Structure 1
Amino acid sequence: MADVTDPMGTNHPALDWREGGVPVSRRFDDPYFSLAGGLAETRHVFLDGNDLPARLRPGFHVAELGFGTGLNLLALAAVTDQPVRFTSFEGFPMDAAQLETAHAAFPQLAPLAAQLRQGWPARQFQVGSVQAQIIIGDARDRLPGWDGRADAWFLDGFSPAKNPEMWGDALMAEVARHTAPDGTFATYTAAGHVRRALSAGGFAVERRPGFAGKRHMSVGRLGRPDQAA
């Protein structure tokens, strides 16, 4: 089954569902979050990898490639009462029913997930103290024209082997260009070409232990060659 286009022209993903409510993209043959524990993975990779919530302050801006189920946003909102911003780029947004099914796997986040789904049609909404904006479309087209700069990036596209467009050199250069001085990134992948592209953009990149037995993940800090994130 192909991805589904709704009457408004939005491409929604075709999904299969694994035990535990884990959605799997048919297009990319990849799960949206870890079968070993999606929330724990998000905390390990994206929050700890960017030294969050310790760095958060009013106006702090998190940006993301690959919104998926919104789990990373929910995890961020769960650990802060600071008024922060969140911008995510998503090419194939789930519809409301798909989000609700995916969110059922995380009952501890239910109140925040309800806020997300309520605001979802507008693509701009509040989740806890986090003001979120979702930019729909191919990140290769949308990110270059974005006028923001992130203090931290969650790089969470599907696997580079299955979704290479989300990890190309030009897009990683745009990530660096849209990062504030001393800003950071974190991602679950340690693919060499991704690390090299981010390093070429000015990040000091390092590998760290990955989640749930995965050997490595990657983190980095912009413009501080003597330090990694």
Structure 2
Amino acid sequence: MGDKDKEYDAGAVEWHEGDMPYSPEFGDHFYSRADGRKECGHVFIGGNGLPERWRNKSDFTVAELGFGTGLNFAETLRQWLADEQRSDRLTFVSFELHPLSAGEIDRALAVWPELDLQRKDLVQVWPPKPDGIVRIDLAEAVSLKVHIGKAFHCLPLWRETADAWYLDGFAPARNPEMWSQELMQAVFDHTGAGGTCATYSAAGWVRRNLQAAGFEVEKRPGYAGKRDMMAGRRGA
């Protein structure tokens, strides 16, 4: 088996319960089985103090570990477009080791009719073989950049900072590299003053890694019966 075949197997997707994407490599679903879109709103959008924090700004940058199906991007874009006080521009930067195909993204997001517009716009321009940095401009004011590769290697090459971070890798117990102290330090270093982060995880060692990096971290109620999630902030 060649390296290309191994990489394909590593990024393979299975479909459970109809259209629920599952990673056999990490033994984990891509998002909450209750409702991934609402989970995004509770954990990542709400956990980062949005939409309030992007209001009346010239540009607002969201960065993410784990693009996956593009669900977080699509829901963030939907809420941003619906907000009359939104920032002038929205930049969304993500880091993804195993990018899905346009067909897989389409199948996953089709579950939510609320995201039909964002889903169609995204899959229409998603490249057949994502590589390097996927750059997509949706309308004049929205920029999506997906860095393909290991986040630990790609993030230091990114020269900008984020206002808000979505930490959405597979579960820490199954994908510890995505939550390492070194990577959390890189996230902190690429967070602007007063910037924030949020994650569905409440693992103690993830919290300690975020704190060691410099974030002020607090637990908050989780989504759909999950006891806790975490939100962090970099001082001004």
Q: TM-score, normalised by structure 2?
A: 0.88
User: Who is 1:88 aligned against?
Assistant: 94
Structure 2: runs of 5 or more not aligned = 82-86
* Pair 1:145-2:143 in alignment: no
Q: Distance in 1 between matches of 2:174 and 2:58?
A: 37
**Structure 1 residues 108 and 12: alpha-carbon distance in aligned structure 2, compared to 1, 3 A threshold:** farther
Secondary structure of the structure 1 residue equivalent to 2:222? coil
Match of 2:216 among 181, 204, 213: 204
User: Who is 2:67 aligned against?
Assistant: 67
1:33-44 correspondence to structure 2 within 5 Å: 33-44=31-42
Secondary structure of the structure 2 residue equivalent to 1:67? coil
- Checking the alignment, whether the CA contact within 8 Å between 1:149 and 1:180 is kept in structure 2 is yes
Q: How many residues end up aligned between the 2 structures?
A: 220
- Checking the alignment, whether the CA contact within 8 Å between 1:15 and 1:24 is kept in structure 2 is yes
Matched to 1:113, the amino acid is: R
Q: Percent of aligned positions with the same letter in both sequences?
A: 46
Give me the CA root mean square deviation. Answer: 2.0
CA-to-aligned-CA distance 1:11-48 (integer Å, 9 cap, x gap)? 87211112251100010010011110010100000000
* Pair 1:193-2:205 in alignment: yes
Q: Distance in 2 between matches of 1:15 and 1:33?
A: 13
CA-to-aligned-CA distance 1:188-226 (integer Å, 9 cap, x gap)? 0011111111111111100001000001000011026xx
1:207-218 correspondence to structure 2 within 5 Å: 207-218=219-230
Q: Distance in 2 between matches of 1:89 and 1:171?
A: 12
User: Who is 1:26 aligned against?
Assistant: 24
* Pair 1:130-2:131 in alignment: no
User: Who is 1:49 aligned against?
Assistant: 47
Secondary structure of the structure 2 residue equivalent to 1:55? helix
1:3-22 correspondence to structure 2 within 5 Å: 5=4, 13-22=11-20
Q: Distance in 1 between matches of 2:152 and 2:199?
A: 18
Structure 1: runs of 5 or more not aligned = 225-229
